[in-house]
Structure 1
Amino acid sequence: MPSSEVQVVQNLEGGILAKRFVSEGDLVERDQPLMQIDDTMVASSFRERSLKAAQLQAKIIRLRAESRGTGFEQELALAKEPIEAVLLQTERDLFKSRALEYGSKMDVLRQRVEQKRQELSAVRLARSSLAESHDLLQREMAVTRPLVEKGAVSHVELLRLERQLNDLKGELGKATIAIPRLQSEYDEARKNIDTFGQGFCSRGRARN
């Protein structure tokens, strides 16, 4: 470089000057160190980025375990790089906590499904029994009516059978109406299980 020209020396990343190896007017050679920049800020920034990367890796392990339905340790075994134990424990504890939350809510939903299944089954069974009783009572009335006309059976007996038949018709109608409603509630309860299972992981990602 001609002596009449001045060359500006600068560090593009900035920093604090720690040492200076030359003075103004000194002759220097190519690749000769001129000064030393304090790397404290650079090292701190590097450590911060490394920590965030490790935190992200630990979080990815947890999310994969949740979305795939596998264990935390199983996904950890697939990790390509080691992760600090403290970071892993944080995500491991969160995984266990969310697994307990998931299991608890899923148990409630399954109990709801079983409850609706039993209710539906009971009403169907009751309707079948009522329909059978209704048919038998109609047959009994068909036999009793001629006997009443002949005076062999009291008219009061026929009235009693008619009241029973009306009561059976009412109960049969209620059961018939209840079946579609209970079927819909049962289907909805089963759907809630699927919806909860599919949405659990996405809700977890949104919270973290």
Structure 2
Amino acid sequence: MSARLVKVPILLLVSVWLACGGGSPANVSPTASFSRSPEGVVITGVTIVVFTATASDPDGDVLTLTWDFGDGVSGSGASVTHVYSSEGVFPVSLSIRDGRGGAAALGSTVTTRSLSGRWLLSEGGARFYERGYDIVQAGPALGGQPFAVPDKGCLGALTGVATSPRELSFHFAGCDNEIVVISGIADQGLLSVAGTYTHPFGPPQPIVLAHE
């Protein structure tokens, strides 16, 4: 009895191989997390907010990270910086894509506040005769952020500097033309500054500035 040659279509063999799991594995979506510094309320036009993302892909795919800061500005990359120019609560989103249909999305919010407006002084003694100051921001830098205010009686012009996101220092000429300094750490909401009133001819006194 002679052997018979059986012809099997190549298409059938490929179909059987794929059915047995011989194809490419399914794509797995990336995972990610992100943080920002500083936390809490940030100063408009002053605070440089740093957003940092940590992302990974089980398949080893190259990831694309895209940021939306919620104020019409976007960015890309694992670490980005942004300065908000207006007050408000902004939704921040991070989108991660692996180029093969896998994606992840994260979100958070950033609250900003302007230092402009009226600050009220609550002094430890009777030195201050006026309470209202219209503070105006000027300049983009965090270190050396100035304030200015029209003259208020013999207290003269009140100016200030933000040397960190929450450390504020106000300087003005007193009734005797000596420079007076009010400095302190603002609360997380940037609504009040509990600090020290320092005059060249007297000991430091406690002082509180409240933002209306």
TM-score, normalized by the shorter chain, greater than 0.5 = no
Structure showing the higher strand proportion among its residues = 2
Tell me the TM-score range normalised by the shorter chain: under 0.3
TM-score w.r.t. the length of structure 1 is 0.23
Larger radius of gyration: 1
TM-score w.r.t. the length of structure 2 is 0.23
